[in-house]
Amino acid sequence: MTSLFGDWAALLPLLVLAGAGMAMLFVDAFVKENAQLGLFAALILGGTALVSCGLWDEPVTMTSPAILGGYLAADRLALLADMAMCGGAGLACLLAGGYLREHKLERGEFYVLVVWSTLGAMALVRATDLLALFVSLEALSLGVYCLVAFRRHSPKSAEGAMKYFLLGSFASAILLFGMALLYGATVHTDFAGMAEAFRTGETGDGPLDLRLGILGMALVLIGLAFKVSAVPFHMWTPDAYEGAVTPATTFMAVVVKAATVVVIVRVFFGVFGTEMLAGATSGWPVAVMGLAAITLVVGNVAALVQKNVKRMLAYSSIAHAGFLLVGIAAAAQLDDGRLTTETVSSVLFYLLAYTVSNVLAFGSLIAVGSRGKEAVTYEDLAGVGRRHPWVGVPFTIGVLSLMGFPPTAGFFGKYWVLEAAVSAGGPLTYLAILAVLMSAVGAYYYLKVLVFLFMKQPEAGAPVAEPMRSGYVVAALILSGYFVMRMGLAPTAYLELAQGASYQLAGLPDPNAEPAEPAEAEAPPTEVAAAAE
Amino acid sequence: MVTGLGTYLTLSAVLFGIGAAGFLARRNLLLQLMSIEIMLNSVNLALVAINRAHPTSHAGQVFAFFVIAVAAAEASVGLAILISVFRLKKSVESDRADLLKG
């Protein structure tokens, strides 16, 4: 693709999606008969994911230039996040194609908002400057606030949106203040310049102000913890997830979380990765460990007592955020660069697995309900699996994968993160033990879904859930189910993708590249040796 | 008399604190929205002041413009949500938001 478009090829995923988003606005405005926008949106999002796939080995990606004057990166980490987010958003659009029609909510705005929010998320994972980070984070968040408020006549939807908006913009303000302090400390807004200032203690315009820098870093961590819904900044999550229409919940669980985790990886390893700020006993890894521990406990225990399945899945997404933070803390604790990189790649694999499992679980929850009889509580699920195995089986796979049961995607995600935490040793070992215990707690509420699906019958007189009939929903279930099983049975290909992204981020040669490439990487030292002679 | 960067940053931090305290203490959605605006504007003050102290580039001033634009977009979405809440509940008190719990 580079030969055709030159360096612009690096921007192709963004441009394709932006062009398609524009087209969708026009289609929605001028085509009165609803023009299957759900399918259209899913296809363009899928197409964007494929464009990102196609850029994987291109020179623009491999040389990783900072494009657009250093505001955006064009690296494999961004492309990997694209695949997860565009794939997830595309599947959410397919689900919406079935769900919105069934519940008589079909309006084109939904898909347009999904596409533009995804564009914000794609810019967010590429951001290599505080300005780009802030603007794209808001582009993502503003779209998602609207998605939560989408069901205009439902008080729950309005309430969820209100809480999400208030806490979300509060978090944005905190994040922004942190950014301003970081700018004050380092006199740079680009990540490379900031990292340089933190490493050398010199800003190029006077010495680094470390106190401002640390305060700024803490505020940025708090702001991002809000967005990734880590406890104690999670209050909005269950309400927004429950209030939103289920396809929008899927979008939030998948895209917002994936984008935020990738930003945390990029900022905290890229900018704050110095020995002083990322020390094993002081610095941000300790704070992340604390967040991870409390997030795991609160997320899992609160999910235990829920009666509403959607709310249970919301708390489960908080618990998964805890698991991702365990991986990030473990990566920061390992002092060997290669081990750190391996751990980052297991976090990224976890993210991929989490994406497809969540789409499958939420998609099945959508499939169980029909107009006027949306499945909400565990009781609503009673016996559905037996009466309608085509819903019961994907629900089972999705829930087992979220639980981490082999041979599904979630198993390897959890396994590799735990392995990294154990090998990091020290306090991380206790965190790994806590994570295992909390996974056992999690098994209770995940298995409860299966018990209700297959072993209970609806009580006499209770409304009997009637699954909806929609080709879109079935297609989304089949696709996400395929990826869940594929990642569980043959995870190597996906782990190699994650490794490709994390090794490039760390500046190390790709361990899975063709044999020709290591020779190239070794070339500079020989030149140096020759020059020395 | 020269006003140093520390003075501006202190003022900015005080404004940010007032905004945050207002956001947490008030129960009226509209006032909470205004508190967030105060917080964003305190950030603008900090950005511009830092840029004045380090005039090697204009990153801080440009950043402040972007913050103004984004704050406007955020206010429009926030007010839309507020109107939708008011239509359904006839109130903009965030204490009345008690449908979603647990």
CATH number for the domain spanning B67: value is: 1.10.287.3510
For residue A372, count CB atoms less than 10 angstroms from its CB and return exposed for 0-12, middle for 13-18, buried for 19 or more.
exposed
pLDDT at A344 exceeding the cut of 90: yes
pLDDT, position A531:
45
Cross-chain residue pair A138–B80, CB shorter than 8 Å = no
Q: Do residues A261 and A174 make contact, with C-beta atoms less than 8 angstroms apart?
A: no
Question: For A375-395, what is each residue's pLDDT tens digit?
Answer: 888 988 888 899 999 999 999
Percentage of chain A beyond pLDDT 90 is 68
What residue numbers bound the domain in which B57 lies?
Answer: 5-92
CA neighbor of A343 nearest in space, from A324, A316, A356, A322: A324
What is d(CA A49, CA A39) in angstroms, rounded to the nearest whole number?
Answer: 15
Cross-chain residue pair A205–B78, CB shorter than 8 Å = no
Q: Is the CB of residue B70 less than 8 Å away from at least one CB of chain A?
A: yes
| Candidates B36, B81, B96, partner chain A, best to mutate (most A CBs within 10 A) | B81
What is d(CA A506, CA B50) in angstroms, rounded to the nearest whole number?
Answer: 31
What is d(CA A137, CA A125) in angstroms, rounded to the nearest whole number?
Answer: 9
pLDDT, position A466:
83
pLDDT, position A18:
95
Alpha carbon of B87: minimum distance to chain A alpha carbons (Å)? 9
Minimal Cβ distance to B81: which of A130, A165, A242:
A165
CA atoms within 13 A of residue B35's CA, in its CB half-sphere: 22
Within a domain: B97? no
Within a domain: B99? no
Minimal Cβ distance to A184: which of B36, B46, B89:
B46
User: Would you tell me which residues 30-49 of chain B have a C-beta closer than 8 angstroms to some C-beta of chain A?
Assistant: 32, 36, 39-40, 42-43, 46-47
Q: What are the CA-CA distances from residue B67 to residues A133, A172, A213, B48 (Å)? A: 12, 11, 20, 11
Helix runs in A187-283, H state only? 191-200, 210-227, 236-243, 246-251, 257-270
Sequence length of chain A is 533
User: Taking CB atoms and an 8 Å cutoff, what residues of chain B touch A173?
Assistant: 16, 19-20, 36, 39-40, 43
Q: Is the pTM of this model over 0.95?
A: no
Cross-chain residue pair B46–A181, CB shorter than 8 Å = yes
Q: Do residues A72 and A66 make contact, with C-beta atoms less than 8 angstroms apart?
A: yes
Low-confidence ranges of chain B (pLDDT < 70): 1, 102
Alpha carbon of B43: minimum distance to chain A alpha carbons (Å)? 5
Within a domain: B34? yes
pLDDT, position A30:
85
Within a domain: B57? yes
Mean of all residue pLDDT scores within chain A: 89
What is d(CA A512, CA A499) in angstroms, rounded to the nearest whole number?
Answer: 8
What is d(CA A201, CA B53) in angstroms, rounded to the nearest whole number?
Answer: 18
Minimal Cβ distance to B54: which of A135, A152, A187:
A187
CA neighbor of A186 nearest in space, from A281, A288, A272: A272
Question: For A159-217, what is each residue's pLDDT tens digit?
Answer: 999 999 999 999 999 999 999 999 999 999 999 999 999 999 888 888 988 899 999 99
Question: For A410-425, what is each residue's pLDDT tens digit?
Answer: 999 999 999 999 988 8
Token duo for residue A226: 């809000």
Within a domain: B84? yes
Cross-chain residue pair A242–B66, CB shorter than 8 Å = no
pLDDT at A517 exceeding the cut of 60: no
Helix (H, G, I), strand (E, B) or coil at A138: helix
CA geometry: angle at B21 spanning B20 and B25, to 5°? Answer: 120
Within a domain: B80? yes
Within a domain: B98? no
State which amino acid sits at residue A353.
A
pLDDT, position A345:
93
pLDDT, position A334:
78
User: Taking CB atoms and an 8 Å cutoff, what residues of chain B touch A165?
Assistant: 77-78, 81
Q: What are the CA-CA distances from residue A279 to residues A15, A286, A475 (Å)? A: 40, 8, 47
Cross-chain residue pair B46–A166, CB shorter than 8 Å = no
Q: Do residues A308 and A242 make contact, with C-beta atoms less than 8 angstroms apart?
A: yes
Within a domain: B72? yes
What is d(CA A129, CA A188) in angstroms, rounded to the nearest whole number?
Answer: 9
Residues 6+ apart with CB under 8 A from B91: none
pLDDT, position A520:
42
Alpha carbon of B1: minimum distance to chain A alpha carbons (Å)? 22
| Candidates B74, B89, B93, B95, partner chain A, best to mutate (most A CBs within 10 A) | B74
Q: Do residues A391 and A385 make contact, with C-beta atoms less than 8 angstroms apart?
A: yes
User: Taking CB atoms and an 8 Å cutoff, what residues of chain A touch B59?
Assistant: 131, 183, 188-189
What is d(CA A327, CA A321) in angstroms, rounded to the nearest whole number?
Answer: 10
Alpha carbon of A187: minimum distance to chain B alpha carbons (Å)? 7
Question: For A13-28, what is each residue's pLDDT tens digit?
Answer: 999 999 999 999 988 8
User: Taking CB atoms and an 8 Å cutoff, what residues of chain A touch B97?
Assistant: 159, 162-163
How many other C-beta atoms are found inside a 10 Å radius of the C-beta of residue A328?
26
The count of structural domains within chain B is 1
CA neighbor of A49 nearest in space, from A23, A8, A20: A20
pLDDT at A522 exceeding the cut of 70: no
CA Rg value for chain A: 23
Helix (H, G, I), strand (E, B) or coil at A140: helix
Q: Is the CB of residue B16 less than 8 Å away from at least one CB of chain A?
A: yes
> Which chain B residue lies closest to A153 (C-alpha atoms)?
B88
CA neighbor of A366 nearest in space, from A243, A253, A476: A476
What is d(CA A163, CA B99) in angstroms, rounded to the nearest whole number?
Answer: 12
A32 pLDDT band (50/70/90 cuts)? Answer: low
Helix (H, G, I), strand (E, B) or coil at A466: coil
Minimal Cβ distance to A165: which of B59, B78, B99:
B78
What is the dihedral angle through the alpha carbons of A199, A202, A207, A209, rounded to the nearest 10 degrees?
-30
ipTM of this predicted structure: 0.96
pLDDT, position A533:
40
Helix runs in A278-407, H state only? 284-304, 309-333, 337-368, 384-387, 389-403
Token duo for residue A71: 């505001």
pLDDT, position A521:
42
Percentage of chain A beyond pLDDT 70 is 94
Cross-chain residue pair A166–B23, CB shorter than 8 Å = yes
